[in-house]
Amino acid sequence: MKSISVRIAGRPRRYTVRVERGLLDHVGARLRRDAGLLPGTPVALVTDRNVGRLYGARVERSLRRAGGAVRRYTLAPGEPSKDLAVATRLFEAWARDGLGKNAIVVALGGGVVSDVAGFAASAFGRGLSWVAVPTTLLAQADASIGGKTGVNLKAGKNLVGAFHHPRAVYADPEALRTLPARSMRAGLAEVVKMGVVRDPSILVRLTSLARRGLALDPRAVAPLVHACAVSKAWFVSRDERDKGIRRALNFGHTVGHALEASEGYRAFHHGEAVAVGMVAELRLSVLELGLDPIAAVHVEALLKALGLPTSLKRRVKPSFWRAVLRDKKRGRAGVRVVLCPAIGKAKVIALPSLTQLERVVGSLVRGR
């Protein structure tokens, strides 16, 4: 598939996003071409235990073949690794190993690995180059592009981080073969989101795959990963710092984040919470912006066909509304939410009151 070029306004350097089957074996050679990897360059390969076991050796071999002096740094799998203490341990290990400013960090794994490794790369030596090799659908289709890196604090998620763009993103859809079905589905929620806010053809193609039972097939999904990367690059190059149009990518996330926060992050995968959030925010778009109700129903049906949740078993807890209002503090004119006036478009709206939001969140409860 055609490589994608991400250009950030006011920055001299573009970077390349490649979505290609078999890319895991060619990371080194690609890096030589895309980022001028020189023989002897120190390469810090950061991965987690699971991904490292599956793909670490292949990527390491390819980096060595390209002349990289590779060391591997392995994190525990899962969200708890997205922590300042883990970044600190990376700093200390890199310092011990004498990593200089010419080193390149390669983040092999899902969002947690690239968030923490990318953040560590942003701060070590005031900024090392890094490369994302995403291995989950969520990371390939969305999170690995755009330069957002960061870690959680006890007080909240993603509170500490940096905008630090990778030199390149290499997504190998083959890596999705080993992804658990639940994670694959959760990633598809963000694919649907990209269809809703930017590229309706994604919804058409995904609906067709779901009908043919191919929505979890990495090979069949690969062109959609590419389409999502194109859309993500479109948003990021227009609004690097997430102050305007890039916020469209938060569609489904006002309700989704509040669900994660109030139900606990274990109850929902991120993509599952976003799926339920999109249902609510599509219904709100019908009420507030006159979105065609048929379109909203089609997207709901697609989410259901993908095996994603579209309703809640019981009413949301009071902490759900506290989480929604915590977002409010950040805006001035009320809770800000991304709505969809028509499929393929998005608009940030400040809700003057919570009445309509309460109504659509209430409508999520099954059997009501």
- 14 counts as binding its own copies under rule CB under 8 A: no
Identity of the residue numbered 365: V
Which of the residues 348 through 367 are near its own copies (CB under 8 A)? none
Minimum CB distance to its own copies, residue 332 (Å):
9
Of the candidates 3, 163, 307, 356, which one interacts with its own copies according to CB under 8 A?
163
Task: Give the binding range for its own copies (CB under 8 A) out of 105-113, 155-163, 176-184, 186-194.
Answer: 155-163
Q: For residue 106, what are the β-bridge partners?
A: 45, 131
Of the candidates 62, 122, 144, 254, which one interacts with its own copies according to CB under 8 A?
122
Size of the site for its own copies (CB under 8 A): 34
- 39 counts as binding its own copies under rule CB under 8 A: no
Minimum CB distance to its own copies, residue 340 (Å):
25
Task: Compute CA 240 distance to the chain's CA centroid, rounded to the nearest angstrom.
Answer: 15
Of the candidates 55, 73, 124, 320, which one interacts with its own copies according to CB under 8 A?
124
Q: Are 225 and 142 in contact (CB under 8 A)?
A: no
Task: Give the binding range for its own copies (CB under 8 A) out of 130-138, 147-155, 201-209, 253-261.
Answer: 147-155
Pick from 291, 313, 295, 261: nearest CA to 192: 295
Angle 111-123/84-96 helices, nearest 10 degrees? 60
Task: Give the binding range for its own copies (CB under 8 A) out of 146-154, 204-212, 281-289, 352-360.
Answer: 146-154
Three-state DSSP state, 106: strand
Q: What phi, psi does 221 have (nearest 5°)?
A: -80, -20
Q: Are 180 and 110 in contact (CB under 8 A)?
A: no
The residue among 151 and 338 lying less far from its own copies, judged by its C-beta, is 151
Beta-carbon-side half-sphere exposure of residue 188 (alpha carbons within 13 Å): 30
- 36 counts as binding its own copies under rule CB under 8 A: no
Of the candidates 111, 134, 161, 271, which one interacts with its own copies according to CB under 8 A?
161
- 67 counts as binding its own copies under rule CB under 8 A: no
Three-state DSSP state, 262: helix
Minimum CB distance to its own copies, residue 309 (Å):
30
- 148 counts as binding its own copies under rule CB under 8 A: yes
Q: Are 198 and 235 in contact (CB under 8 A)?
A: yes
Task: Compute CA 29 distance to the chain's CA centroid, rounded to the nearest angstrom.
Answer: 26
- String marking each residue 80-119 x if it binds its own copies according to CB under 8 A: ----x---x--xx--xx-x-xxx----------------x
Residues 6 or more apart whose Cβ sits within 8 Å of residue 1: 18, 19, 20, 222, 223, 226
Residues 6 or more apart whose Cβ sits within 8 Å of residue 129: 35, 103, 104, 105, 121, 167
The residues binding its own copies (CB under 8 A) are 10-12, 84, 88, 91-92, 95-96, 98, 100-102, 119, 122-127, 148, 150, 153-156, 158-163, 329-330
